[in-house]
Structure 1
């Protein structure tokens, strides 16, 4: 297959259902500029000891009538394997900085109980600990990403956890691991040195945390065959000063990455965030506006990092992101259980397009959270399980994993509500090792379809296939009574016409196209 020298995509947005004057938008993609690999770890996930994510999610009552290995729920495992889950971040979140790993090893009946003070004040029995988490990762085929305790822990505690996990030799910690049933080390690579240390992780200043990071990271050893990717606890949303201080005070060779946390709040108000299913177009729009800000946010922090690291050796790790709404009425406020609508799918696709387009700096991301919490992929109710619209978007986007990102340029038509406007379309593209081109497109407009007339210069291709996630209303969602209302379906709205690609994107749609 020849290299694609230029892909020019022409989008025609109907001004109305009456097909008045159409606005044309060109997207240029040049595969000769495809240099940066889209890391599969951009498609990572987050599982905190919070609500029903671990307990009654991944880790269930032995009496529950579902397929299990030990107490790990296997229908969840199978669903996540289907989307090639690359990594899983654990044990938090805020829980990480009150978690003491020794409480979660050894015979379960002898493990001490604790109170989860961050999330609902429930009793944590520590039955799901280090061995159980790493067994789960093994079943998933996912790399573990462990967040260490800097807030209430000690340097020695973290250092010995690394030794317990990774040392292949004779030592008290390696021997203890063997006594607990694991002869060979796990060789865990991704390691977070604390979490949200500006807040629940210790209410530290950036300067104090930077010094603490250097101290903790010094004793988190690289054992033979197990080099660590140490990730500094980065900024809360727009706090670029935090990023600046860390980049200035921590030598680049002492950290693999620096994290960033950003949640999309529909109302922009943390006190009253808005419902996950009961909202109108104005709140749909405000959610879009807040979610699409991720692009500006990544650019702002990347610009700070570029001052100190112009060759981009340090990764930006967006290890908490997603929509955060008010909880479902009648559920525990500390459990953060919310539904997942077509709005969530649109935000998920848009955010993943943003990460793909910043693949030179963004190397890891973690959606919050995997099961039953916030923008979850999976919801459970006793034996029942459903896949959310967000899950199906991840299923579409997995084609980009480890492919080369194709830079693109375009000017989107606007989606206007009231006096404000956001881009109606966003997109990313990649070329895989076999030469197939994948384009993911999101039409955020709740009313207007987008027609595509695409000229493909220099590309010999014979067919286009596609899949789509869409629904009539932005409030539509999957329920336990109707679990397949929104799924990934074959997209029949694209075809080859001469050497042109023509397609039509419905309103509220996430589309993946493959050209071969």
Structure 2
């Protein structure tokens, strides 16, 4: 029987007191789940279970959609740009995040993108069928790699598995990575780049499981295409790190792994949990977002099971390489038609900064905690996108605004220690409209030598603080970095760019207690 592509839609992927800390070697499952009276949560750490996490979970994503590239990262002629056209204020802000990797050029854009249009001195503008607009192709492979070098990250290229094919993918690898052999290597050198770009990370396709994706595939078609693409790409460069578009649904991913799993390093999964494809001006409320804040970890656990059930546990990792709380607003698209200018203009709604509140910040922190809890399998995550639309950095003609999520990404990147320690949490519930989540979430990290600890604590409650009692660390002082706001709906904008910014206080834990504020992310740093 021929397997068919599951009948998926984008909505299916958008379903999306005190704290006691005791260092304990006994398994978390053996701990009392009850929360003592007067406390909001009990967090117990098992120091015998330690995993070094991959910093690629702090990755980002850049797509040729609306003002991410043109008028975002790249704006020739702007007084804020360098001679190459790169916005230097954007480069500086993104350097602050210490971004490890950026995925490009899509997204849906790539399913009708031909990379040859975007290299060389004579660029050919092309109408992009998924998004219904013409791309000037002045920002292509050469510019992307140069931009990545400027901000200090690894370039990660997603290939066209829609209207393209495996030979076009392998030619792209040749252009980027071969030193002297081959016509495409010679083309790169003729374009002024004598040294290979050495792009290590490559994804085969983007969301080819969606019937609305340009060039979507059936399950039978997909496994074969991924296998043959991987073979040809590795024939050019045997050291590539390869990913392929997948889902947490075994109906799609099991056939992929059966046919092509032996060629892959990662499966690529995506998720958005506030479905705004059509209704961009009606974002979910703070409490609605908090009720969905554990759903990303549920997707991760499903993906882990699919990998294990198909015999690839420990062999294939997870890249959550497109994620955000809010889905992008693009009514009628992909493939809506060039005549729908009225719909294209509605994409401006994505750039309403009032949307990106403490709800987005704490959802993003919850997402990162979920990745860190499964750091043995989740090795990459790319927030989608990095600039404008739903991104952490809003770029306008006169400067930039660091949204609430920018500060979350910077705090995790800068303040966590490199090893995740198993952490058990028993917390009072936070309930709304028949759903509930734990009020407190936490992840614990330690240094290589175990002498330093950083605990990321999320208080999801919109109005109530939490009193933290920390056992076993009395007599010490720590540092508490706090991100909160004057309201759960607080946001940063051009008029008030610093309404939500991290602040730092000394945390005196000599008596074993610390306070965290409502609707906050707090990272407690201690020397043990």
- In the alignment, structure 1 residue 209 sits paired with structure 2 residue 234: no
- Contact kept in structure 1, 2:24 and 2:44, CA below 8 Å: no
State the partner residue of 2:333: none
Indicate yes or no: 2:351 matched with 1:345. Answer: no
Does the C-alpha gap of structure 1 residues 259 and 425 become closer, same or farther in structure 2, counting only changes over 3 Å?
same
The aligned length equals 485
Unaligned runs of 5+ in 2: 1-22, 331-341
| Alpha-carbon distance, 1:491 to partner | 3.6
Match in the other structure for 1:17: none
- Where do 1:195-344 residues align within 5 Å? 195-199=206-210, 200-221=213-234, 227-235=239-247, 239-252=249-262, 254-265=263-274, 270-272=277-279, 275-276=282-283, 283-309=285-311, 311-324=313-326, 332-334=345-347, 336-339=350-353, 340-344=356-360
| Equivalent residue runs for 1:42-441 within 5 Å | 42-62=57-77, 64-107=78-121, 110-119=122-131, 121-199=132-210, 200-221=213-234, 227-235=239-247, 239-252=249-262, 254-265=263-274, 270-272=277-279, 275-276=282-283, 283-309=285-311, 311-324=313-326, 332-334=345-347, 336-339=350-353, 340-374=356-390, 376-399=391-414, 403-433=418-448, 435-441=451-457
Please tell me whether the aligned partners of residues 468 and 490 of structure 1 are also in contact (alpha carbons under 8 angstroms). yes
- Tell me how far 1:413 sits from its aligned partner: 1.1
Cα drift, residue 405 of structure 1: 1.0
CA distance in 2, matches of 1:436, 1:159: 45
The DSSP-based 3-state class of the residue aligned with 1:169 is coil
Contact in 1 for aligned 2:425/2:442 (Cα 8 Å): no
How far 1:411 sits from its partner (Å)? 1.4
CA contact (8 A) 2:291 2:432 kept: no
The CA distance in 2 between the partners of 1:304 and 1:275, in whole Å, is 34
Distance 1:47 1:424 in 2: 33
SS at match of 2:174: helix
Q: Which whole-Å CA distance do the structure 1 matches of 2:117 and 2:408 have between them?
A: 37
Distance (whole Å) between structure 2 residues aligned to residue 196 and residue 484 of structure 1: 36
Equivalent pair of 2:45/2:423 in contact (CA under 8 Å):
yes
**What is the rounded CA distance, in whole Å, between the counterparts of 2:290 and 2:374 in structure 1?**
19
Q: TM-score, normalized by length of structure 2?
A: 0.86
1:207 positional shift:
2.3
Q: Deviations over 1:167-195 (max 9, x none)?
A: 12332111111111111101111100111
Rate the CA distance shift 1:221–1:447 in 2: closer, same or farther, 3 A.
Answer: same
User: Is the CA contact 2:276–2:282 (under 8 Å) kept in the aligned structure 1?
Assistant: no
Name structure 1 gaps, 5 residues minimum.
15-20
CA contact (8 A) 1:408 1:428 kept: yes
* Corresponding residue SS for 2:365: helix
Separation of aligned partners in 2, 1:117 and 1:406: 46
Q: Quote the offset at 1:214 in angstroms.
A: 0.4
> Please, which of 7, 13, 38 is the counterpart of residue 53 of structure 2?
38
Q: Secondary structure at the match of 1:514?
A: strand
Distance 1:11 1:510 in 2: 23
Tell me, yes or no, if the aligned pair for 1:439 and 1:514 is still in contact at 8 Å: yes
Cα 1:451–1:319 shift into 2, 3 Å: same
Q: Is the 8 A contact 2:288 2:432 kept in 1?
A: no
SS in 2 for 1:440: strand
When residues 6 and 85 of structure 1 are mapped into structure 2, their CA distance, relative to the original with a 3 A threshold, is same
What displacement does 1:472 show?
2.5
Q: Distance in 1 between matches of 2:365 and 2:326?
A: 16
User: In the TM superposition, what is the alpha-carbon distance from 1:326 to its structure 2 partner?
Assistant: 7.4
Instruction: Give, in angstroms, the shift of residue 422 of structure 1.
Output: 1.5
Aligned-residue RMSD, C-alpha: 2.7
Separation (CA, whole Å) in 1 of partners of 2:503 and 2:343? 33
Distance 1:401-1:213 versus aligned 2 partners, 3 A rule: farther
Cα deviation, 1:372-429, whole Å, max 9, x if unaligned, reads 112x111122112111110000111014777111011111211112332221111111
